[in-house]
Chains A and B, each alone.
Chain A
Amino acid sequence: MSNKKFITSSGIKLWPKLGMRASFGLMALELAKVDDQLLIVTGDVSTSAGLDRFRKKYPEKYIDVGIAEQNLLGIAAGLASEGHNVITTTFAPFQTARCLEQIKVNLGYMNQKVCMIGLASGLVLGTLGYTHCCIEDLGILRSIPNIDVISPADTTELAKALEAFYLSKNSMYIRLTGGSNIPLIFNEDYNFSLGKSSTLKEGKDIAILSTGTMLSVAMETANLIKKSNLSAEVINIHTIKPIDANKIIECGKKFNYIATIEEHNIIGGLGSAVAECLTSSGGTAKQLFYGINDKYSDGGEYKYLLKKFKLTAEDISKSINDTIK
């Protein structure tokens, strides 16, 4: 990619109103202008990925392999080996678990570079059932060497993650969560660095570590527990791998409590990654895990499921209050 920037201030304002998927489609249009090696490979999801305009405008940069994710990953790796910058995208379960061994061998083992975008991860497709929800992707991809894993908090951070892909030597998985209207956290371009967390708010009683669109729940939680005179530090762990171990270890020493909030199974995701750092650091912080409690529940709307798993700011702040008092 040339040095031309594809992140514009008008984009930053527009994207959150469209949600992650549609804004990815707009970002792809911008990327195509600055990257002549760009190819986007999908599996019959152009509309869902916000790529209808891209497909019409850049047919030579757009490849649809049909509903065949194993082949999708193999083709993407073959194209990448010839020097193309390849972005693949489909719904998160099909982008990850369906073709996991292709990811392991073609990207991890061979250290070939492809950017995978998992659409509608987490619980947002809850009315469609757990075939389409994805609460496992962080855990399974985190265990494959040579793959960076990013869970952007908002649409600006998605754009920053795409930028980071070009600078990394590894493949990347970008996990898109949230509904069609994303609470904006970063309302202007900012310094994003792969593997480095960012502190959004300082505090002293508890550190709340979160990732993806749950970051806005983390901010809201910090506000709610203020009423109980608890001051929370809120840290954005946008990169699940490589995880910012130094920051986490520092938190383990500085705080008595660390909470992790994620829209993912509590096994294998952010909470697990944080615990792996904390247990070897000699800190004394107690970790509170907020996530999906290793369960496929009944289905329902996004908000219904978040409530069901007690992933709302009200539920989490109550639990934190009860724990610390």
Chain B
Amino acid sequence: MNKNEISEIKSLSKKIRKDILNMALSAGASSSHFGGSLSTVEILSTLYKKFLKFDVSNPVWQERDRFILSKGHACLGFYSILYEMGYIKEDDLKLFEKNGSFLLGHPVINKKIGIEFSNGSLGMGLSLGIGVAMSIKKRSLSSKVYVLIGDGECNEGSVWEAAMSASHFNLKNLTVILDNNNFQQTGSNNEIMSSEKLFEKWKSFGWEVININGHDINEINNAFKKSASRPKLILAKTIKGKGFSFAENNNDWHHKILTQKQYEEALKELNEQ
């Protein structure tokens, strides 16, 4: 990956963080899932900029790659990348969580704007992705399926039902990115439900597992690029709240109202990066 590409993705990540701030501010008292969206930013920007095949003018293009945000609460990052890629307009972002909006606090299926499925109830997106990947394999399409899941989400038993079936069905066209930010709703993973040895767990379920720093664009790029003879899991070590010092590793920001003062402070910090 050359320097230009890296700086392009870095600058896209910066834009996404700014979009996230704007949406979090406009959500006001309805609050938003701030921390767990910020941990996904570099993953989304690298995926959409460099790997995901799509056509905004033909969102149901059969040959497209499919992306599923299984940790649906991280939709601030998702809506931002959809905006930056041209699926939705800047004004649409202001509708986030507003009455009657199509951009709710969890994604609602809307293929026209690149949302393949509704998500929000954890542990469901991977099974959907497996169904899609099986169909793509049956039809010998070259499309790939990417599913972004969380580490808290891995508490759900259905994740493991899905995990064992993806390797059983030998779905080489399936990549899961596990946003391993070490926190879930009310505490750290290990306080709430021990999440150690995720690498070994996924490997033992028959996946090709790659450990990376989920904010290092080069490492993300190499992980996406790496060919795999089995379904691939990218175990991305990330920081919940990444990018804003008041929110980093501070689980109060799992779901919290962003005040005008915090917004300005965050914007200043972002502009200095």
Contacts and interface: CB of A to CB of B under 8 A. Distances in A.
Interface of A is mostly: helix
Given A101-B121, A102-B124, A105-B121, A77 B131 contact: yes
Contacts of A77: 117, 127-128, 131
> Size range of the interface on B?
20 to 34
A10 B158 CA distance: 43
> Size range of the interface on A?
20 to 34
Nearest to B120: A105
Contacts, number: 85
A80 B117 CA distance: 12
Interface stretch (B16-24, B27-35, B134-142): B134-142
A74 B124 contact: yes
B165 A70 contact: no
A73 interface: yes
Given A68-B161, A75-B127, A63 B132 contact: no
A23 B109 CA distance: 36
A97 to B, nearest CB: 15
A68 B165 contact: yes
Given A68-B161, A110-B109, A110-B118, A74 B132 contact: no
Contacts of B123: 70
A90 to B, nearest CB: 14
B126 interface: yes
Contacts of A73: 127
B134 A71 contact: no
B100 interface: no
B116 interface: yes
15 contacts: A66-B164, A66-B165, A68-B165, A70-B158, A71-B158, A75-B130, A77-B117, A77-B128, A78-B128, A79-B131, A81-B128, A84-B135, A101-B121, A102-B127, A110-B117
Interface of B: 109, 116-118, 120-121, 123-124, 126-136, 138-139, 157-158, 161-162, 164-165, 168
